[in-house]
Amino acid sequence: MAKKVMVVDDDPNIVKYISAVLEDAGYETCSASDGTEAYDVLKKETPDLITLDLDMPEEWGPRFYRRYSKKPEYKDIPVIVVSGLSGIDHAIKSAVAVIQKPFEPEELLKIVKNTIG
């Protein structure tokens, strides 16, 4: 069974791009456009990993992360921060990686493979 990655970003083009990269590598994907929607998707899909933008409308990435990581059933889901903001290295201290937009797809795939196989 394929591992599932949830892509959380407010830019639909970024969601399509990351999803295509991951699906081409054999992963399943689900997505959300902000933290509020992401929490609803998280409850339905329970992904193996989350890629998370920081700057989004409604609920921004760090707030979504704090909310879901407090729940025992979700706290061990690893997160990769993918953002265009500068100084993002410390936004989510327990992130397995921080990737600055724009990025190379191989960089993302390497981190995903090393994290969830």
Average pLDDT over residues 28-56: 94
Tell me the residue range of the domain where 74 lies. 4-116
Whole-prediction pTM: 0.93
pLDDT of residue 109: 97
Cα gap 43→45, rounded to integer Å? 6
Domain of 41, CATH number, reads: 3.40.50.2300
Supply the pLDDT for residue 92.
86
Q: What is the pLDDT of residue 53?
A: 93
- Domain count of the fold of the chain: 1
Residues 48-66: pLDDT tens digits? 999 999 988 888 889 999 9
CA distance 71 to 105: 31
Q: In the structure encoding, which two tokens stand for residue 69, read together? A: 């990581």
pLDDT digits (tens, 9 = 90+) for 71-101: 999 999 999 999 887 666 667 888 999 999 9
